[in-house]
Amino acid sequence: MDRIFQALADPTRRAIIKRLTVAPQRVTDLAEPFDMSLNAVSKHLKTLEKAELIDRDNRGRTSICSLRTEPLQNVQEWLDQYAHFWGSNLDAFSRHMEQASHTDGIAKADNTKDGDDHE
């Protein structure tokens, strides 16, 4: 749990996660949008990997990263532990109804909220 929350505590890493929800990607592609060295991104990916937030498929000289679901489920379970404490207004059921409106596979260009940079 420490490693998961720690991994999520960095904006670069959250941005990487966000990108990975669209599609698995190579290290170079993931690094491209950031104003930092490739090495720095490589290290971030290692952090994400240790937290088991990403998986890697080494295809020859490239390493393709993809999102893993387990850690996010762990976070959800941790949160649910306290659901009774803060639940109510946007509770699990509301979320279910919200979620039911897009049961398709991948990112439905969800611009219903605040455009793009929801982090």
Partner DNA sequence: ATAACATTCAACCAAAAGGTTGAGTGTTAT
Partner DNA sequence: ATAACACTCAACCTTTTGGTTGAATGTTAT
- Which chain residues interact with DNA by CB under 7 A? 6, 9-10, 12, 26-29, 36-40, 42-47, 56, 59-64
CB neighbours of 115 closer than 8 A, spacing ≥ 6? none
Least separation in angstroms between residue 16's CB and DNA is 10
96 binds a second copy (CB under 8 A): yes
Task: Let me know: does 21 contact 6? Beta carbons within 8 Å.
Answer: no
Least separation in angstroms between residue 78's CB and a second copy is 8
CB neighbours of 27 closer than 8 A, spacing ≥ 6? 38, 41, 42, 45, 62, 63, 65
The DSSP output letter for 110 is -
What mask of x and - would describe binding to a second copy in positions 26 to 65, judged by CB under 8 A?
A: ----------------------------------------
75 binds a second copy (CB under 8 A): yes
